[in-house]
Amino acid sequence: MQDTGSSAALSRSDLDLPLVVVALMKGVVYRDSHEKVWRHLQQLQPQVRDYVTVMGLTLHVDEAEGYAFLRSRPEDPDEPSTPRLVARHTLSFPVSLLLALLRKKLAEFDATNADSRLVLTRDQIVEMVRVFVSQRTNEARLVDQIDGHITRVVTLGFLRRANGQESTYIVSRVLKAFVDAQWLADFDQRLGGYADQLSRTNGSDE
């Protein structure tokens, strides 16, 4: 069995700050898929935080879930503004809905499974969204639309394609950091409004 190693196994001279910063600038770093970067990050968190602060960024590390990422530091009206390095994404309503459904699915999965990976097929994702779609929507068009939404969510990093499995996705646990517990607690109350809005959206496209 491969030893993923602990941070204590690395000597100070072996630590590679540029390796960690570059990986974080590219996107989310996961313990299970970026093992080398993660080991270095364990001992370099203070240095990484200091380094990215000058760029207007903060480091978010979730040890329990096994991921780390950079986000823009909240703006202080008393300080000069810093150019934004981490772009804000304007999400369409269907993409926002899909993220909410995935977050709810992840919460249900965590409550009933010991496994850390929630894996969903394309067909399962389509069925999740279908409930909120107008009955008048053409089936082929519906699937094409949802495929587009899935692609967008993959681009955002909240879904990862499973290796060697076509149309199979891993729900990234970093989603929990962006769709918080309070929002999820209100989720059921919002479903009716989501269904109405999505039906109007699809009806206007026909």
Whether this model's pTM surpasses 0.75: no
The rounded percent of the chain whose pLDDT value lies above 90 is 27
129 and 55 within one domain:
no
Lowest pLDDT segment from 37-41, 47-51, 85-89, 107-111: 85-89
Is the pLDDT at 9 greater than 70? The verdict is no
Q: Do residues 71 and 60 make contact, with C-beta atoms less than 8 angstroms apart?
A: yes
In a domain, 77, yes or no: no
* Tally of domains in the chain: 2
66 and 143 within one domain:
no
The single residue listed with the structure tokens 């891993």 is: 170
126 and 62 within one domain:
no
Domain that holds residue 187: 93-205
Q: What is the pLDDT of residue 7?
A: 42
Spatial distance between the Cα atoms of 93 and 25, rounded to a whole number of angstroms = 27
For the chain, strand residue ranges (E) read 29-30, 57-62, 67-72, 119-121, 159-161, 168-171
113 and 60 within one domain:
no
Q: How is residue 93 written in tokens?
A: 């309503």
Q: What are the tens digits of pLDDT across the range 122-134?
A: 999 999 888 776 5
In a domain, 43, yes or no: yes
Spatial distance between the Cα atoms of 93 and 101, rounded to a whole number of angstroms = 12
Spatial distance between the Cα atoms of 179 and 173, rounded to a whole number of angstroms = 11
Helices 93-112 and 122-130, interaxial angle, to 10°? 110
66 and 120 within one domain:
no
CATH of the domain at 168: 1.10.10
Is the pLDDT at 169 greater than 90? The verdict is yes
125 and 189 within one domain:
yes
103 and 28 within one domain:
no
Q: Which of 186, 195, 181, 183 is nearest to 129 (CA)?
A: 195
Spatial distance between the Cα atoms of 109 and 106, rounded to a whole number of angstroms = 5
Q: How is residue 147 written in tokens?
A: 């495929």
Is the pLDDT at 177 greater than 50? The verdict is yes
Task: Check residue 193 and report its DSSP letter.
Answer: H
134 and 101 within one domain:
yes
21 confidence band (pLDDT: 50, 70, 90): very high
